[in-house]
Homo-oligomer: A and B are copies of this chain.
Amino acid sequence: MRITAVDVRDVRFPTSRSLDGSDAMNPDPDYSAAYVVLHTEDGEEGHGFTFTIGRGNDICCAAIEALGEYVIGRDLTGPADLADLYRALTHDSQIRWLGPEKGVMHLAAGALVNAAWDLVSRRAGLPLWKYLATLTPEEIVANVDWRYLTDALTPDEALVMLREAEPGRAERIAEIEREGYPAYTTSPGWLGYDDAKVVRLAREAVAEGYTQIKLKVGADLEDDRRRFAAARSAVGPEVRIAVDANQRWDVDEAERWMAALAEFDPWWIEEPTSPDDVLGHAEIRRRVAPVKVATGEHVHNRVMFKQLLQAGAIDFLQLDAARVAGVNENLAILLLANKFGVPVCPHAGGVGLCELVRHLSMFDYVAVSASMQDRVIEYVDHLHEHFLDPAITERGRYLAPAKPGFSAEIKRESLEHYAYPDGPEWSEN
């Protein structure tokens, strides 16, 4: 299973043309992937990507190319190899200067680490979530970088936690395969949609079985009140409506804005301020209670999540499959969340994030938290048609992926059509 080549592609979808994905900070995203394929000497493949929203995707591709040198020649067979690869990609002392463990280089490391897990779980013939569930507590703990975490969680505590959840793994796997995992949908709530579209999509979501939807807020307060009122009327009082400010506010502004939305009963406020602002989130949480606070899609590593938990800054932890350094760092984040009793509700949408995060939440249920209480995975109904193993929801729940691997693979024809800047979608439009 020696890696012989690392193939990197810049792929961009022109989503800004329809304002899908528009929010208060991101008015015109072109959902993109800095996409990587690892090739082995025996013809196997591992796929991974960094998700971006357009410009800068080329810089991520360059970073993946540069880090690819640390992957070529490596034998990737089992969990110990994955632990070694993760450390090699995040601990090179010269590369580390550019972060450490944040920004473009860390996004690139995540793409490669996820591609490696895709490769290894494909070879095991299992979807990633079930492959992870075959690992022993010791193997899981050995795949975490414990540096900077031990004041909140030690490897020994994590072992105890994982051993406690070992009984019942098989039953929970069967339950997931039978019933799936709860989802919520953001599709009705993009800021670029008019009220009628928001109402129509919100009604459709509830009719499909969703019990939680999400609206984007933060650009204009009167618009937000009008849209929220319309959505609340459309879905009734029982459906949870989360709101998402995409980092738009300072602390005082978050308090004022949320006070003005309180009458519509928001379930959580997501990314009220800078993702770097642990103490700001904690202060906002105190001020907007009983509305809950959620964040994580831009939280750049396990050290930041550790502090959000230590500071009591969040009610829901929204890990992202492709922001941190891949599966390994997300194992640390799942263990930290469980230690602090905070439900993980992953960020998804974009390109392929739904495909990836379902594996992490399902593994969390099987082997870490053993709970679905107040846990939901974000679902957005865009761009799944480009994936070989697309995310599927039914009656408001994610179905369990069954194909071997991490579901990151994009169809060959999509990679070619949306190649940037030379694919036909970009060169002919």
Measured CB to CB, the residues of A under 8 A from B are: 25-30, 52-56, 58-60, 62-63, 66, 92-107, 147-151, 247, 250-252, 273-280, 283, 298, 300-301, 303-304, 306-307, 310-311
Bound form: Cα–Cα A283–B310 in Å: 12
Closest 10 CB pairs of A and B: A103-B103, A104-B104, A54-B94, A55-B94, A151-B251, A276-B303, A148-B274, A53-B97, A150-B250, A56-B98
Within the assembled complex, what's the spacing in Å between the Cα atoms of A310 and B280?
Answer: 10
Smallest CB separation, A399 vs chain B (Å): 29
* Minimum Cβ distance to chain B for residue A29 (Å): 7
CB distance from A89 to the nearest CB of B (A): 12
The answer to whether B280 touches A148, judged by C-beta atoms less than 8 angstroms apart, is: yes
Q: A56-B66, A151-B250, A151-B252 are in contact. Are A277 and B307 (CB under 8 A)?
A: yes
Residues on the B chain within 8 Å of A149, using CB: 250
Rounded to whole Å, the gap between the CB of A270 and the closest CB of chain B is 15
Beyond A28-B93, A103-B300, A151-B280, list 11 extra A-B contacts (CB 8 Å).
A26-B93, A27-B93, A53-B94, A56-B66, A56-B95, A56-B105, A58-B66, A59-B98, A99-B103, A103-B104, A104-B105
Contact of A55 among B55, B92, B274 (CB under 8 A): B92
- Chain B hits for A301, CB < 8 A: 276
Give the residues in chain B near A25, CB-CB below 8 Å: 93, 96
| CB proximity of A348 to chain B, nearest CB, Å | 15
Nearest Cβ on chain B to A352's Cβ, whole angstroms: 15
Residues of B within 8 A of A105 (CB): 56, 59, 103-104
Residue in B closest to A60 when the chains form the complex, CB atoms: B98
Q: Count chain B CB atoms within 10 A of each CB in A56, A150, A278 and give the residue with the most.
A: A56
Do A279 and B59 contact each other (CB < 8 Å), given the known contacts A94-B52, A148-B250? no
A104 lies within 8 A of B100 (CB): no
CA of A148 to CA of B99 in the docked complex: distance in angstroms? 21
A273 to B278, CA, bound (A): 17
Chosen A-B contacts, 27 in total, with CB atoms closer than 8 Å, are: A25-B93, A25-B96, A26-B93, A27-B93, A29-B97, A30-B94, A52-B94, A53-B93, A53-B94, A54-B97, A55-B95, A56-B105, A59-B105, A98-B107, A99-B103, A100-B275, A102-B300, A103-B104, A148-B280, A151-B280, A276-B300, A276-B304, A276-B307, A277-B303, A278-B278, A278-B279, A278-B307
Question: Are the CB atoms of B59 and A147 closer together than 8 Å?
Answer: no
Please give, as numbers and ranges, the residues of chain B lying within 8 Å of A280 by CB-CB distance. Answer: 148, 151, 303, 307
Contacts of A252 in B (CB 8 A): 150-151
